[in-house]
Amino acid sequence: MTAADDAGGFHAHLPLRRAAAAAFERVAREFEKFIRGKGLKLTSQRRRILKRVFATHRHFTAEEIHEIFRRGQGDVSRATVYRTLSLLVEGGFLDMLELGGDTKRYEHILGREHHDHLMCARCGTVVEFQEPRIEALQEEVAARHGFRIASHSLRIFGTCRKCLAAGATEGVGAAGAGGAGG
C-alpha cells in the first residue's frame, strides 16, 4: 500500500461502507416494523432478499433475484422472493416498474434522487433520467389546476438505441400503450 492509498484511495471506501451498512440496518428495522404490523416476521430468507435487493443499484426482476439464490445462496423459494418484493413495494421500500405484459422491474429507493424512466418495449432496457424542465412543467400544470402533487412517476415507452440500430421497431406501439398516462 502506498501513502496515496492510505491518504484517500484504499481506505476511502470504509466510511462509505459503514454508512451503507448503517443505512441498511435502518431499512431492515423499518421493514421489520412494517411487516410486524401485518402480523409477519422478518425471517432469515426475507432478510437475505432485503440485503440482496439493497446491494444492487440497477433495475432487477424477481426472477433475477431468485436466480441469484438458486445458484448458490441458499434456500429462498421463488414464492418467497415474489411475496417479499410485493411487501417491499407495499411498504414504500421499492419502486416497481411495469414494462407491459407480466414483466416488472424493481429498484430500491434508499438514498436515490427522484428520476424518471425511458423504457424499451423491445428488450426491457430501462434508462433513468432527470429533466428539470419536465419537473417544472408538472408543477406548472398542477398549479394551473389547483392541484398539489404528492408524488409522480413518469415512464416513457419506446425503442432503445441498441434495438433501433438492430432494426427492431415492430410491436412498440402495443407494448407502450399502457404507459401514456405516466
Q: What is the pLDDT of residues 11-21, one digit of tens each?
A: 344 454 676 67
Taking the domain 1-112, which CATH number applies?
A: 1.10.10.10
- Which of 105, 107, 148 shows the shortest CA–CA distance to 124? 105
Residue 141 to residue 129: CA distance in whole angstroms: 21
Q: pTM score > 0.85 for this model? A: no
Architecture of domain 115-182: 2-Layer Sandwich (3.30)
Backbone angles phi, psi at 31, to 5 degrees: -65, -40
Three-state DSSP class for residue 136: helix
Residue 182 to residue 176: CA distance in whole angstroms: 11
- DSSP secondary structure letter of residue 11: S
Q: What is the pLDDT of residues 85-116, one digit of tens each?
A: 999 999 988 888 776 667 788 887 766 677 78
Neighbour count for residue 155 (Cβ, 10 Å): 18
Grid coordinates standing for 10? 484504499
Given a contact cutoff of 8 angstroms between Cβ atoms, the answer to whether 40 and 49 are in contact is no
In the chain, domain spans: 1-112, 115-182
pLDDT tens by residue, the chain, 182 residues: 334 333 433 334 445 467 667 777 888 899 999 999 999 999 989 988 988 888 877 788 888 888 888 887 677 888 999 999 999 999 988 888 776 667 788 887 766 677 788 888 888 788 888 888 988 999 999 999 999 988 777 888 899 999 999 885 554 444 444 444 44
